[in-house]
Amino acid sequence: MEGFDLISTGFWSVIPPLLALALALITKEVYSSLTIGVFVGMIIYQFTLNGAGAEQLVASFTMVPQMMAEQIAGNGALLLFLALLGALTVVIAVSGGSRAYAEWVSTHIKNAKMASILTAILGIIIFVDDYFNCLTVGAVMRPITDRFHISHEKLAWIIDSTAAPVCIIAPVSSWAVAVGGYLGEDGFNTFVASIPYNFYALLTIFFVFFMLFIQKDFGPMAAAQAAADDRIPAAGSKLEAVSLARIADKAQVDLEGAPNIPTVVTEEGDIDDAAAGAIEEYKGLNISDRGTIWDLIVPILVLIVLDALGITDMKASVDREDVV
């Protein structure tokens, strides 16, 4: 950012991110936690550069809004991109595409294992951008995973583990353009050559499918799945301790002291109720009941094709500039 010099603050440089992370975990408020972290970082910067004092403290509070405004202005394209992705997700839902896909899958998927594996496969298919991946796969697959009592925690893990890891190793993706640009001259070719060495992404994708095939959960994930299955862990077991801690954390205990964990779907055939719950955030919109699966497939295919063409054209433009 213009107007700021790079300085070394030593150990103090890790305080803002650690503070923001701790506050986010404690308060469950991400935006306010990040804002406090930014303010603390600015105070550390001012105190290190100009010494501690009231004047530097006031300067920190006045410079943070200015800095944030400049960052928002500099990332206008990204904000517009995210807004358009969200709009496309709403269009797919309103057209009935998500509901139609859920109903189609309900006739082909007969167990939780296949539903979770299909979620991971869909996460790989939508490889153009991790943001769009999360928005689309979550909205589309939640009715199906709810039907088979797959916990929302596990669904979130599957989506997260097949979003960025897939995008970062896909030559045609928003990550390819961004990383290739950071690498400078011949950056795209360097990015492609580095794909086999991206062990985090490759191993993450491998372990997602491995865990889904063996259908084994551990620790808090096992507790979350037990809650989704409406199972009561064995008395005195480690799973019971984790589960009770989870319930106490959410204050989900009724007046008689028994866990009050609501099931998402009461019967396996209630696909309509599950789909209605999945699109709860679209209240007030007229969700079409005449949608088909093509209302989901066509917008995604168009996005992938146009994204691929745009990335290819952008790479060609960069190559021409390098030649000149």
Query: Could you write out the three-class secondary structure of 121-172?
Result: HHHHHCCCCHHHHHHHHHHHHHHHHHHCCCCHHHHHHHHHHCCHHHHCCCCC
* Residue 92: φ, ψ to 5°: -60, -40
Tokens of 187: 């950056």
Closest by CA to 105, choosing from 146, 158, 159, 144, is 144
Q: Which of the listed ranges 160-164, 172-176, 302-306 does the model predict with the highest average pLDDT?
A: 160-164
Find how far residue 95's CA is from the centre of its chain: 23
Confidence of residue 5 (pLDDT cuts 50, 70, 90): low
Query: Which of these ranges, 10-14, 39-43, 177-181, 289-293, has the smallest mean pLDDT?
Result: 177-181
Is the pLDDT confidence value at 255 over 50? no
Confidence of residue 253 (pLDDT cuts 50, 70, 90): very low
CA distances from 132 to 34, 141, 253, 283 (A): 23, 14, 36, 21
Tokens of 215: 């259908």
Q: What share of the chain is helix, strand, coil (3-state, %, to 5)?
A: 75, 0, 25
Beta carbons within 8 Å of 225's beta carbon, 6+ residues apart? 150, 151, 153, 154, 217
pLDDT higher at 231 or 75: 75
pLDDT > 70 in the chain, percent: 73
CA dist 310 and 274 (Å) reads 37
CA distances from 167 to 175, 178, 188, 191, 196 (A): 6, 11, 14, 12, 14
Is the pLDDT confidence value at 203 over 90? yes
Residue with tokens 């996005």: 303
Is the pLDDT confidence value at 180 over 60? yes
CA distances from 158 to 101, 118, 155 (A): 19, 10, 5
Is the pLDDT confidence value at 136 over 80? no
Q: Look up residue 288 and give its DSSP letter.
A: -
* Residue 253: φ, ψ to 5°: -130, 130
Residue 204 · residue 161 · CB < 8 Å: yes
pLDDT score, position 244 = 44
3-state secondary structure of 287: coil
Is the pLDDT confidence value at 231 over 80? no
Is the pLDDT confidence value at 322 over 70? no
Residue 290 · residue 95 · CB < 8 Å: no
Q: Look up residue 268 and give its DSSP letter.
A: T
What is the pLDDT averaged over residues 229-256? 49
pLDDT score, position 82 = 67
pLDDT higher at 321 or 129: 129
* Residue 259: φ, ψ to 5°: -60, 135
